[in-house]
Amino acid sequence: MHPIEQRSLFFASAEGYEVFRAHVAGGITGRRALPRIVFDGAVPGPWERYAHVWRVLFEPPSLRFLSREQDYFLW
Q: What is the mean pLDDT of the chain?
A: 89
Which of 19-23, 31-35, 63-67 is least confident? 31-35
pLDDT tens profile 46-71: 999 999 999 999 998 888 888 888 88
Kind of pairing between the strands at 54-58 and 37-42: antiparallel
- pLDDT (0 to 100) of residue 56: 96
Max distance between CA atoms of the chain, in angstroms, equals 47
Determine the Cα–Cα distance for residues 12 and 3; give it in Å rounded to an integer: 14
Beta carbons of 10 and 75 less than 8 angstroms apart? no
Q: Does the pLDDT value for residue 15 go beyond 70?
A: yes
Per-residue pLDDT, averaged over 16-45, amounts to 89
Q: Is the pTM of this model over 0.85?
A: no
pLDDT of residue 75: 66
